[in-house]
Amino acid sequence: MKTRIINGINKPISIAPLVHFRVLFGLIMFISVARFVFYGWIATQYIEPEFHFSYYGFSWVSNPGETGIYLLFITMALSALGIAMGYYYKVSALLFFLSFTYVELIDVTNYLNHYYFVSLVAFLMLWMPAHLAFSVDSKRKGFTISRIPYGYVLAIQLLLSLVYFYAGLAKLNPAWMMEALPLKIWLPMFSHLPLVGAWMSELWVAYAFSWFGAIYDLSIPFFLFYSRTRPYAYMAVLIFHLSTWLLFPIGMFPFIMILATTIFFSPESHLKVASSLRNIFRKKSATAYSSSNEPYKTPYQKLIWNLFAWFLVIQLLLPLRAYAYPGNLFWTEQGYRFSWRVMLMEKAGYAIFHIRDKVTGREWENYASDYLSPMQEKQMATQPDLILQFAHFLQQKLADEGFEEVEIRAEVYVSLNGGMNQLLIDSSADLTQIEDGFAPKTWILPYKKSL
């Protein structure tokens, strides 16, 4: 069994799928950065806010200021183009991974599943020989590699499969499957659409979307791996992601998944695409993937396979940590991030922070809107760990103003999936005395399902 796996991983295949993935990944990342600049999100998300919420264990990742932020985005854009062109590929891949991941770590409230996915793919691309054909590097060095071990392509395919599978597994919960939540809240908002608008308020449509979404996510990796079902599966990928893009404001995620999923097509299919493109542009030279070289080999191959294996094992286990925490996951959100739970809940809340000066006994209230952007305030008001972070930020602000000993309590009301507002955390708990950590947060109040 082990021998068969090793032989399968080391089986030589055309480099075309990996090269096409490199080009598409670099281009879509460049477009994503340009889109961020165009909409002015650099200023609203990273420059204007006074405070940024850090990931646990990454408080050392600080905002580098206006100049630093723009330099990071310029680095992202140029390195993304470098990846697409295969120009100093290894340097470009490293710079993109570091700059993108650093920006992602600056503020938790900007977290999106596809940002995390991009960081993971960028890490894998560091170790890929994706620049050895159809690249500036290969032209500059005067040689190309036509074949690589299948393991390089397989690593990306397995990562995509984990994303899809866990997204489907997360949908197997009573709210999604038995109550069509939150889709029965969201879909009626599209009743104005031509042709399909009249259906959007129908309950059976919400159930159909919910069940189809779960079945799609759980099954699509298997259909993509199987050659006979792959064309139909990819058609489903197009329909699914374009539909979600048209209905919901989820940014570039659908296009990233549509382009990334092309990695499942056979090397022969990719070679046909390359040949067609060559004919369109009337390039009479040999195909970019032809070469008399031997299959790609590196003395570090075993080390790279071990690195990929551990990487995939971590991605396999990390989403499971959510099951180690008590209570309703959507309510506590302990273990929610990095687990591929995509668009599973409608959650809204508001928070009032009650301050008491322990020295004078004076009491007053503070509001997050005085310090945070609307996006930050919205995210903070429903996530207990961010509420705690903001309380500690307030404690420091007050200390700077001369209030050395204060008690800070938070009155936070949250509605989950259209239910009644409920207190999220113990409003009598002094948050200045609580430290964050991986242990269950006992100061989060239990969720009571409203009728």
Tell how far CA 448 is from the center of its chain.
Answer: 30
H or E element in which residue 162 lies = helix 151-170
149 in helix, strand or coil? Answer: strand
Residue owning tokens 């919901």: 248
357 backbone dihedrals φ, ψ, rounded to 5°: -80, 115
- The span from the CA of 431 to the CA of 387, in Å, is 9
Instruction: Answer whether residue 203 shows pLDDT above 70.
Output: yes
* C-alpha atoms less than 13 angstroms from C-alpha of 311 in its C-beta half-sphere: 22
- The span from the CA of 348 to the CA of 414, in Å, is 6
How high is the pLDDT of residue 47?
Answer: 95
* C-alpha atoms less than 13 angstroms from C-alpha of 414 in its C-beta half-sphere: 31
How high is the pLDDT of residue 292?
Answer: 46
Are 418 and 346 within 8 A, CB to CB? yes
Q: Say which DSSP state 293 is in.
A: S
**DSSP string covering 47-89:** IS-S--PPPTT-TT----HHHHHHHHHHHHHHHHHHHHHTSSH
> Which residue blocks in 261-364 are alpha helix, DSSP H?
267-280, 301-317, 329-332
How high is the pLDDT of residue 100?
Answer: 98
- What would the pLDDT profile of 68-103 be if each residue is shown by its tens digit? 999 999 999 999 999 999 999 999 999 999 999 999
Tell how far CA 48 is from the center of its chain.
Answer: 24
How high is the pLDDT of residue 286?
Answer: 45
Residue owning tokens 């003395």: 299
pTM summary value: 0.94
C-alpha distance across the termini of the chain, in Å? 53
Average confidence (pLDDT) over 291-309 = 86
Q: What percent of the chain has pLDDT over 90?
A: 87
How high is the pLDDT of residue 281?
Answer: 63
Q: What is the mean pLDDT of the chain?
A: 93
- The span from the CA of 362 to the CA of 355, in Å, is 8
Instruction: Answer whether residue 447 shows pLDDT above 90.
Output: yes
How high is the pLDDT of residue 191?
Answer: 84
Are 408 and 353 within 8 A, CB to CB? yes
- The span from the CA of 359 to the CA of 353, in Å, is 18
How high is the pLDDT of residue 162?
Answer: 97
5 or 127: whose pLDDT is higher?
A: 127
Average confidence (pLDDT) over 2-22 = 93
Amino acid in the structure at residue 200:
M
How high is the pLDDT of residue 289?
Answer: 58
Instruction: Answer whether residue 282 shows pLDDT above 70.
Output: no
- The span from the CA of 347 to the CA of 32, in Å, is 27
Residues 6+ away with beta carbon under 8 Å from 247: 186, 187, 190
191 in helix, strand or coil? Answer: coil
* C-alpha atoms less than 13 angstroms from C-alpha of 14 in its C-beta half-sphere: 21
H or E element in which residue 410 lies = strand 406-416
Residues 6+ away with beta carbon under 8 Å from 61: 54, 55, 102, 105, 106
How high is the pLDDT of residue 449?
Answer: 80
H or E element in which residue 236 lies = helix 230-247
Three state DSSP letters for 322-349: HHHCCCCHHHHCCCCCCCCCCCCCCEEE
319 backbone dihedrals φ, ψ, rounded to 5°: -65, -20
Residue owning tokens 């390089």: 152
Which tokens is 449 given? 């399902």
Residues 6+ away with beta carbon under 8 Å from 283: none
- The span from the CA of 146 to the CA of 289, in Å, is 5
pLDDT band at 329 (very low <50, low <70, confident <90, very high): very high
- The span from the CA of 353 to the CA of 394, in Å, is 9
Strand pairing category for 406-416 and 422-423: antiparallel
- What would the pLDDT profile of 207-254 be if each residue is shown by its tens digit? 999 999 999 999 999 999 999 999 999 999 999 999 999 888 888 999
Q: What percent of the chain has pLDDT over 70?
A: 97
- What would the pLDDT profile of 374-427 be if each residue is shown by its tens digit? 999 999 999 999 999 999 999 999 999 999 999 999 999 999 999 999 999 999
